[in-house]
Amino acid sequence: MNWNKSEELYKDAEEHIVGGVNSPSRAYKGVGGGTPIFMEKGEGAYFWDVDGNRYIDYLAAYGPIITGHAHPHIAEAIAKSAYNGVLYGTPTVLENRFAKMLKDAIPSMEKVRFVNSGTEAVMTTIRVARAYTNRTKVIKFAGCYHGHSDLVLVAAGSGPATLGTPDSAGIPTSMAKEVITVPFNEIESYKEALDKYGDDVAAVLVEPIVGNFGIVEPKPGFLQQVNDLAHDAGALVIYDEVITAFRFTYGSAQDLVGVEPDMTALGKIIGGGLPIGAYGGRVDIMEQVAPLGPAYQAGTMAGNPASISAGIACLEVLQQEGTYEKLDRLGEKLENGILNHAETYKLPVKVNRLKGALTVYFTEDEVENYDQADATDGEMFAKFFHLMLKEGINLAPSKFEAWFLTIAHTDEDIDETLRAVEKSFKPLANE
């Protein structure tokens, strides 16, 4: 496999685009460097790059592409909207239809508002929670990612239940002090945070099933306690379901865990691959939002017919019988195959999987929180990533990301992937 054209294009990109990429996760920084591959065409479970190499894709664009690339039903919906005009700046019937679809699937979203990205959706839920509670602080969980708005780009301080420090230059320390970060799956630190700051906490923000330090499920009862204790303290609970909604079931993670938040943020899958976000929640909370209430949020592109049409088409595909059973079955086959090969080659591998999403960690230990994910072997993952790429398997370039199956993947694709896994494990075992 040669990557001559990708290498040339990356050099060119570095001349014009900062870092050569339009999102930092696309650079191969998390896997020891290298040239990001320039893809040219996606169809079903496959990518073809500019050098003509074919890959089986498990990146799925970091989650949205659950139907596989260029799904005909979604492509037709997008084409139709292109000829009808992609942006109106007026209400459309499509928005009503899509809002109802989302509400039917996620009943806690009694009222919704469409925005353009997951970042915007989460950012706005926080503003609305602050408006509703007249409080300022937010509790979040270490390692959960909630987009790049100032408030949520904050890491933990030196210990549990400490005020945050900015995770990025350009974020005022004063703003980071409004965020308290505690470990996921650890109720004691969370309790401590609420004891200390409870009266000032507007909202507790959480990925109900984590996707951002790998796939990590909440321990039984954890999210119920998160809810109960937040409500006791007068704070709202916001679920960031940007990755999780429609990923594991037709609906949300809140459905799977059986706990309802006060507000929910969505993105990724609900746009069928086009830019979108949405947030929603209880009517009395959502009525804080302009034009009804004092919390302002607006958007030129919000609810645009192209994104909404793609979103409706995507959910229509997902409604087909057997969708999630297939994702689960293929996920299980992939997980078992990886674990078998790991055993053969005596490699320390743990797989965290929920249905059609899984993370392969190089470790002997369980991964239930960010620190444990961080402690897994990144160097071995980096080598594995590059070996798999040479075998034509496109993974996310980070040990913290998930492999996402799509309904376009077949048993043969999994077989081919497992042969690549075996080939890649072999040299790792010999080191």
- Interacting residue ranges for ligand PMP, rule: CB under 6 A: 62, 117-119, 122, 145-147, 207, 211-212, 240, 242-243, 267
Q: State the nearest-atom distance from the C-beta of 394 to ligand PMP, in Å.
A: 17
Distance (Å, rounded) from C-alpha 231 to C-alpha 198?
10
Residue 161: count of CB within 10 angstroms of its CB: 21
Catalytic: 370? no
Q: Which is nearer to ligand PMP, 122 or 138 (CB)?
A: 122
Q: Which is nearer to ligand PMP, 62 or 362 (CB)?
A: 62
Q: Three-state SS for 216?
A: strand
Spacing of C-alpha 53 from chain mean position: 27
Backbone φ/ψ region at 62: left (φ over 0), alpha (ψ -120 to 50), beta: left
Q: State the nearest-atom distance from the C-beta of 414 to ligand PMP, in Å.
A: 25
Say if residues 254 and 108 touch (Cβ distance below 8 Å): yes
Q: Which is nearer to ligand PMP, 202 or 205 (CB)?
A: 205
Tokens encoding 312: 């409706």
Q: Which is nearer to ligand PMP, 237 or 338 (CB)?
A: 237
Residue 89: count of CB within 10 angstroms of its CB: 9
Say if residues 190 and 226 touch (Cβ distance below 8 Å): yes
Catalytic pick from 268, 326, 350, 355?
A: 268
Distance (Å, rounded) from C-alpha 213 to C-alpha 148?
16
Q: State the nearest-atom distance from the C-beta of 357 to ligand PMP, in Å.
A: 12
Q: State the nearest-atom distance from the C-beta of 242 to ligand PMP, in Å.
A: 3
Q: State the nearest-atom distance from the C-beta of 272 to ligand PMP, in Å.
A: 13
Please identify which residue in the block is written with the tokens 């899958």.
269
Q: Which is nearer to ligand PMP, 49 or 240 (CB)?
A: 240
Q: Which is nearer to ligand PMP, 243 or 289 (CB)?
A: 243
Catalytic: 62? no
Q: State the nearest-atom distance from the C-beta of 23 to ligand PMP, in Å.
A: 8
Distance (Å, rounded) from C-alpha 112 to C-alpha 89?
18
Handedness of CA 238, 242, 244, 153 (dihedral sign): negative
Catalytic: 399? no
Handedness of CA 409, 411, 414, 419 (dihedral sign): negative
E strand segments, 30-94 = 39-43, 46-49, 54-57
Catalytic pick from 49, 240, 255, 413?
A: 240
Measured at the alpha carbon of residue 119, what is the angle toward residues 33 and 360, in degrees to the nearest 5?
A: 45
Catalytic pick from 10, 55, 62, 145?
A: 145
Residues labelled as active-site residues: 145, 240, 268
